[in-house]
Chain A
Amino acid sequence: GESVGLHLPTLSVQEGDNSIINCAYSNSASDYFIWYKQESGKGPQFIIDIRSNMDKRQGQRVTVLLNKTVKHLSLQIAATQPGDSAVYFCAENRGAGNMLTFGGGTRLMVKP
C-alpha cells in the first residue's frame, strides 16, 4: 500500500562526520515533505521542508534532497554533533488536505 518508509531504523556516526538519513515514499501525488527531529520525551521539531518543484534545499548544517523519479528523500547533516542524536522522521503531505503522513523514524546515534 501507499506509505512513507525509512530504509534504516538506526544510524550510528562518529562526531564530526556527515550523516545521511533516507526515506522512501510511494505516492507520486505527494507535493510537500518535511523532516522532523524528535528527542526523547519531546514533540517533533521541524528541521527543514521541501516542495515537489524543488530537488534540493539547504538549511543550517542540513540539506534535504528530493528525487521524484525514484520517490526518495534524504536528510544530510553536516559535521554531526552529539546534540543531533535523536529520532528523525520524514513526513509527506499527499496533495490536497493538511494531513501529514509520517515514516517510521530513524534513530541517529552520534559517537564521541
Chain B
Amino acid sequence: EPEVTQTPSHQVTQMGQEVILRCVPISNHLYFYWYRQILGQKVEFLVSFYNNEISEKSEIFDDQFSVERPDGSNFTLKIRSTKLEDSAMYFCASSTQGGSGGQYFGPGTRLLVL
C-alpha cells in the first residue's frame, strides 16, 4: 500500500538555525499538506499546496515558514531561524483531491530546537 514518507525521523537543531523537513507524498496525489503536533496537543494545520502554489495557510505559517515542491516527488517544509516553540512533530499529508478528499499522513519528523 502506498505511503507518505518523511525524512529525517528526528532532527535536533540550535535556536536560530534553519531546518528543512522532507516528504515524499503518495505518487498519484495532487494535494500536499503540512501539520504539526506539539507534544500532548492536537494536530494543527500549517499549509496546503496544490498546483505548485500555496492554497491555504494558517496563522502559524508565518514568514518563518516556506514550502516547496522542488521536483516531481518531494515536498519540503523550511523553517528559517528556528525558535524553541517550533519544537514539535511535523506531519506531511497528501490527498488525491482537496476539500472532501481523505488526507493520508506520513510518520512525522520530530523536531527539537535547543
Contact = CB atoms under 8 A, between A and B. Distances in A.
Interface of A: 31-32, 34, 36, 42-46, 49, 51, 89, 91, 93, 95-105
A46 B55 contact: no
B103 interface: yes
A105 B44 CA distance: 12
Interface of B: 4, 31, 33, 35, 41-45, 48, 50, 55-56, 58, 91, 95, 98-100, 102-108
Contacts, number: 64
A44 B91 CA distance: 9
B103 A46 contact: yes
B104 A102 contact: no
Which 4 residue pairs of A and B lie closest in terms of their CB atoms, listed nearest first? Answer: A32-B100, A43-B105, A98-B48, A102-B43
Given A97-B55, A99-B58, A34 B43 contact: no
30 contacts: A31-B100, A32-B99, A32-B100, A36-B105, A42-B108, A43-B108, A44-B91, A44-B105, A45-B105, A46-B102, A46-B103, A89-B42, A91-B43, A95-B99, A96-B99, A97-B48, A97-B56, A98-B31, A98-B55, A98-B95, A99-B45, A99-B48, A99-B56, A100-B35, A100-B103, A102-B43, A103-B42, A104-B41, A104-B42, A105-B42
B61 to A, nearest CB: 11
